[in-house]
Each structure stands twice: as C-alpha cells, then as structure tokens.
Amino acid sequence: MISVKNLQKNFGGVEVLKGINTEIDKGDVICVIGPSGSGKSTFLRCLNMLERPSGGQIIFEGDDLTDKKIDLDLHRQKMGMVFQQFNLFPHMTVMKNLTVAPMLLKKVPEEKARAKALELLGKVGLADRADSFPNQLSGGQKQRVAIVRALCMEPDVMLFDEPTSALDPEMVGEVLDVMKKLASDGMTMVVVTHEMGFAREVANRILFLEDGVILEEGTPDHIFNHPENERLRSFLAKVL
Amino acid sequence: MILPTLFLAAGGPLSGWFAKLHETFIVNERYKMMIEGFRNTIIITLGALVIGVTIGMLIAVVKYLAEDVPGLKPLAYVCDLYVKVIRGIPMVVLLLIFFYIIFSHAKNGIPVAIVAFGINSGAYMAELIRSGINAVDAGQMEAGRSLGMSRLQAMRVVVFPQAVRYILPAIGNELIALLKETSVAGYVAVVDVTRAGNLIRNNSYDAVNPLMLVALIYLVLVLLLTWLLGKLERRLSTGDKR
Ligand SMILES: Nc1ncnc2c1ncn2[C@@H]1O[C@H](COP(=O)(O)OP(=O)(O)O)[C@@H](O)[C@H]1O
Ligand SMILES: [Mg+2]
C-alpha cells in the first residue's frame, strides 16, 4: 500500500532521515520505536507529505507522492493522521469536528455525515458528547474524538504520532483500546509509540529507528525476544 | 437659540461664554460647516477602513499561501514592497501625492482621501491580520491538511475563524488611529472636522471654542470606540471558555 524508497529529509543541512526503505502492506500494523530525536515523527509526517522529503519516494497506492504534479490533498483524504496534541478544532463542536471534512471535501450530505459520525462516536463510547466543545473533554476523550475525526474520512491507512504521550496515565488505556479495536477490524496502521506493551501485542512488524535509519525491523517476537542490534538492546533495556 | 437666551437672562459667569458660542457658531450658520465636517470625517474613516481591511486580508492571505505555493512568491514580494513603501511615507505626503499627482484631475477630495487613507491603512492591516493568523497554533493547519483540505480551505474553515479573536481587537485599534489620522484631510481641500474647526476659527476670530470643540469631538468618538472595543474583547474572550 505504501512503499518508502530511500526516504531522506534534511532540516537546514541537518540530515534527519538518511535513507529509509520499507513496505507497508494492507492490514499491516506497524509500530515505529526509537529514542527521542531519532526521526520518528519526521518519518511519519513524510508519509502524508506534511514534511516534504529531501530525497527518495513515497509510493502510495501506486502514486508517487513526491511527484510535483500529484494532487496531494486527494491522497491525504485517504491517510488519516492522529497527533500527539490532538489538534481538534476548538471553535467547533465535536460533531462539527467530525463532519466538516467529509462534507467539505467529499460532499457527503450533512445528514449522512452526522449519522456516520454518531455511529463512530458510539463505538468509542462518546455518543453523548457530540455537542460538546473540545475544551470540555478530557485528554483521553479528545484523542478518541481525534481518531474518529480521521476515520470519518474513511481512510485506507491511519498514521499515529505518539497518540498517548500527552495523556495522563489513567487515560492511556482508553485510547489504546480504541486503537486495538481498529487494528482488529483490519485497519492499516503506522504507529509511532513508546507503549511497548501495545507494540508487542498489536503490531505485526516493528521498526527500530535511530539516527535517521532503520537499524532493525521484524516481528514483535524478534524485536523484543531476539534483538540483534546492540543499540536496540540498550534502548529496550531503558524502556522496558 | 432658546438655550443661550435663557442663560443670558440668568446672568452669571456662564452667560458671557454662551454669548461667545452664539457668535462663533450660530451667526452665519457656521455650525453647519462642523456638521459637514463631522459627516466627512466619518465617511472617510469608514471608507478607508473597508478598503484597508480588504487590502490587508488579501495581502495576508497571499503571503500565507506563498509560504507553500512557490508560484505566489513574486506576488508576495510585491506585497512586501507595498507594505514597506507605505509604512515609510508620512500620511500627509501620501495624501498630497494622491491628490496632486495620481488623481490630479479630481475635483472632489473626499474619494481621493478615502483611497489614500485606505491604501495607507491596508499596509498596517496586512501586518496585524498576519500576526493574528500566526497566533493560531500551527497544529490546526496541519490537522486540516491531514484531512485533505487545501491550504486555502484549511485557512478559511479552521485557522481564520480562530484568528478573528486576535484580529478584531487589533482592527479596532487601527480604526481609532485611522480616525485621528484623517484630521490631515484638510490638506486636499476636504472639509473634515479639523478643517471645519479651523475655518470657523478663521471666520469668527474665536480660536478657543472651535478648536476645543474639534478636540472634544475626536475625544468622544475615540472614547466611544474604545468602549465598544472593550465590550467586543470581553465577548471574544468569554467565547473562549466554550
Ligand atoms: N521543523 C523542523 N525544523 C528543524 N529541525 C527539525 C524539525 N522537525 C524536527 N527536527 C529535528 O529533527 C530531528 C528528529 O525529530 P523528530 O522526527 O521529531 O524525532 P522523534 O519524533 O523521533 O522524537 C530532531 O533533531 C529535531 O530537532
Ligand atoms: Mg516525535
């Protein structure tokens, strides 16, 4: 579904991504782990071109997103993204947060958009908060709404950038539960996370990123039980 | 007419002043000049405000979009130049250039003044609208873009509605500055409040009362605008607690 080919990214001469190659297939749940500053967010943001790669290619469903002539907006509709800081629209109700993009971009009729939003809100246990504003929600509720907002566009893949890192510990579980359900429904997901329990349980492949390169990748069993790279071992020793 | 007569009859220290007011403003119907001046000051200020906000919005949006759309860079450069040039020229000089050079055949100074003040104001509006837009968290634009919105759509639906809370009070302040700045409109033969006061002073040989009245009119208008602005800001900040 997504092929990443020799992806590179510099920020003002500083090489942050130094040639990343990987394949993301339909139904994959891929967790990206690694120390802070290793380029995880940059990698994820390059997948939907929120950051423009300095080199290499992102092939999404057969189209090269780095091609200047491509309609990025159309492709982004199919790539949901969930941010560490939620980034809900504070001036809109929860319902409006969920329906604004489908109505504006896919011309879904309001009634249909609302019905879909309500159905998905119900699935994450927030059907009664449709008329709330984001400021009236807890962090965990906000992030669940943010996930639903992305899902309302019916994306083919969901990108998560440390979705639980800004949450109080007691709220991490409710968000991870939603993500687990999403994974078991067959959603293709790329998740940058420090939640090693989640990665071990849900991922079918884990990428260990350090210093802008994938140092090691494999199944959870491989990464957690038989790590080969020395730096992966010392990273795991610190976080587990 | 009745009121001053009453006070004259009552005598006392005020009666002399009222006699003077009568002589300055009522004789020869000189107060009518002040009414015309007031009307023109309001027309010029509001006309310039509309032009200024329009220009400011256009520039702000062009410069914002140009950050991502290379094709707009030359246009953004022109906008920058406009802002720099305008901010570097005193308003009076700009007004004279518009009246005596650019619209040198204009008979009526009022439209020229509206355009000149509007173009001047646009440069300041552009900057304050831009800083209002920049005050909105960058994550908002990214969230909009990640859903598939274009930069313009995300600006219109997500960013700008949030920027309004910063922009409106700043526009209010600019309006107050603009109102006072129009007092130089007399340079191009427009009878605004200031010029009206000056004409009355000239015709009546009374300097004190006309000029005090002019000062009072501006002061009251500014206090009124300040009060309205305060109300607006309180409304906008309670909106925050939704
Ligand atoms: N917009 C940017 N401008 C300059 N440097 C950046 C920018 N974004 C990220 N970086 C740098 O790139 C490196 C990797 O950042 P990031 O991808 O956020 O890492 P991670 O998510 O793994 O913590 C860091 O050194 C960071 O300072
Ligand atoms: Mg990060």
CB-CB neighbors (< 8 A) of B143 in chain A: 81, 83, 87-89
Alpha carbon distance B140, B163 (integer Å): 11
What integer best gives the mean pLDDT of chain A?
96
B137 and A CB contact within 8 Å: yes
pLDDT in tens, A94-134: 999 999 999 999 999 999 999 999 999 999 999 999 999 99
pLDDT at B67: 84
Q: Which atom of ligand 1 is nearest to the CA of A38?
A: 22
Residue B6 has pLDDT above 60, yes or no: no
Instruction: Please tell me if the CB atom of residue A16 comes closer than 6 angstroms to any atom of ligand 1.
Output: yes
Mean pLDDT of A22-44: 96
| Tokens, residue A163 | 């979705």
How does residue B233 score in pLDDT terms, banded at 50, 70 and 90? confident
CB-CB neighbors (< 8 A) of B162 in chain A: 90-91
How does residue B1 score in pLDDT terms, banded at 50, 70 and 90? low
pLDDT at B57: 94
Percent share of chain A, pLDDT over 90: 98
Residue B12 has pLDDT above 80, yes or no: no
pLDDT at A35: 95
pLDDT at B105: 83
pLDDT in tens, B189-229: 899 999 999 999 999 989 999 999 999 999 999 999 999 99
Of the candidates B179, B163, B171, which has an alpha carbon nearest to the alpha carbon of residue B232? B171
How far is the centre of ligand 2, averaged over its atoms, from the C-alpha of B123 (Å)?
Answer: 39
Of the candidates B170, B191, B171, which has an alpha carbon nearest to the alpha carbon of residue B44? B191
How does residue B3 score in pLDDT terms, banded at 50, 70 and 90? low
Alpha carbon distance B14, B7 (integer Å): 7
Instruction: Please tell me if the CB atom of residue A212 comes closer than 6 angstroms to any atom of ligand 1.
Output: no
How far is the centre of ligand 1, averaged over its atoms, from the C-alpha of A39 (Å)?
Answer: 6
Among A10, A15, A16, A50, which residue has the most ligand 1 atoms within 8 Å of its CB, making it the best to mutate?
A: A16
B224 and A CB contact within 8 Å: no
CB-CB neighbors (< 8 A) of A104 in chain B: 149, 153, 157
**What SS3 class is residue A107?**
coil
Predicted-complex ipTM score: 0.94
Which positions in chain A have a beta carbon within 8 angstroms of at least one beta carbon in chain B? Answer: 48, 50, 73-81, 83, 85, 87-91, 100-101, 104-105, 133, 135-136, 149-150, 153
Instruction: Please tell me if the CB atom of residue A42 comes closer than 6 angstroms to any atom of ligand 1.
Output: yes
